Amino acid sequence: MSERSPTQAPLAAACQARGGKVSVLTQSDVARLLAEPSPQTRAEVAGKLGRDIDDPALSTSEVALAQDILRILANDIETTVRQTVAQSLRHSNRLPHDVAVRLANDIESVALPILADSSVLTAADLVAIIRCASSVKQETIAGRTDLAEDVADELITRAHATAVAALMRNATAQISETGFGKAIDRFADDDGVKESIVLRDKLPITISERLVALVTDNLRNYLVTHHELSPAVATDIVLQSRDVTTITLSQGSRADELERLVQEMHRHDRLTPFLVLRALCLGDMEFFEAAMAALANVPAANAHTLIHDAGPNGLRSLFEKSRLPARLLPPIRVAIEVVAGVKFDGGEHDLARYRARVITRILTQFERFGEDDLDYLLDKLIAVLAVGAGRQNSAVPARPASLCDASYRTA
Q: Longest Cα pair distance anywhere in the chain, in angstroms?
A: 105
Q: What is the mean pLDDT of residues 278-296?
A: 85
Contact 215, 198 (CB under 8 A): yes
Q: Which of 76, 94, 112 delimits the end of a domain?
A: 94
The lowest-confidence range among 215-224, 245-254, 319-328 is 245-254
Q: Which residue has the higher pLDDT, 268 or 304?
A: 304
The whole-chain average pLDDT of the chain stands at 77
Establish if 106 belongs to a structural domain: no
Task: Tell me: do 208 and 235 sit in the same domain.
Answer: no
Task: Tell me: do 47 and 80 sit in the same domain.
Answer: yes
Task: Tell me: do 272 and 149 sit in the same domain.
Answer: no
Query: Could you give the CA distance from residue 184 to residue 333 in angstroms, rounded to a whole number?
Result: 42
Task: Tell me: do 206 and 238 sit in the same domain.
Answer: no
The lowest-confidence range among 246-260, 262-276, 328-342, 367-381 is 246-260
Owning domain of residue 45: 1-94
- 3-state SS string over 217-232? HHHHHHHHHHCCCCHH
pLDDT score of 341: 77
Task: Tell me: do 308 and 381 sit in the same domain.
Answer: yes
pLDDT score of 249: 34
pLDDT score of 61: 83
Task: Tell me: do 242 and 374 sit in the same domain.
Answer: yes
Band of pLDDT at residue 350, cut at 50, 70 and 90: low
Q: Which of 215, 244, 275 delimits the end of a domain?
A: 215
Task: Tell me: do 155 and 292 sit in the same domain.
Answer: no
Task: Tell me: do 164 and 236 sit in the same domain.
Answer: no
Establish if 222 belongs to a structural domain: no
Q: Which of 180, 215, 250 delimits the end of a domain?
A: 215
Q: What is the mean pLDDT of residues 218-224?
A: 79
**CB-based burial label for 78 (10 Å; 0-12, 13-18, 19+):** middle
pLDDT score of 388: 47
Task: Tell me: do 286 and 259 sit in the same domain.
Answer: yes
What's the pTM value of the predicted model, to 2 decimals? 0.62
Band of pLDDT at residue 229, cut at 50, 70 and 90: confident
* Dihedral pair phi/psi, residue 122, rounded to 5°: -90, 170
Q: What is the mean pLDDT of residues 150-164?
A: 97
The lowest-confidence range among 66-75, 96-105, 167-176 is 66-75
Type and span of the H or E element at 351? helix 350-365
DSSP state of 90: T
Query: Could you give the CA distance from residue 42 to residue 5 in angstroms, rounded to a whole number?
Result: 10
- Which of 135-149, 203-217, 367-381 is modeled with the greatest confidence? 135-149
Contact 372, 231 (CB under 8 A): yes
Closest listed residue to residue 180, CA positions, set 158, 163, 157, 159 = 157
pLDDT score of 215: 81
Establish if 139 belongs to a structural domain: yes
Task: Tell me: do 202 and 318 sit in the same domain.
Answer: no
Q: How long is the chain? A: 411
Q: What is the mean pLDDT of residues 170-192?
A: 95
Task: Tell me: do 185 and 261 sit in the same domain.
Answer: no
Q: What is the pLDDT of residues 44-83, one digit of tens each?
A: 878 888 888 888 888 888 888 888 888 888 888 889 989 9
pLDDT score of 224: 77
Task: Tell me: do 369 and 272 sit in the same domain.
Answer: yes
Establish if 268 belongs to a structural domain: yes
Establish if 237 belongs to a structural domain: yes
The number of domains in the chain is 3
CB-side exposure of 83: number of CA atoms within 13 Å?
8
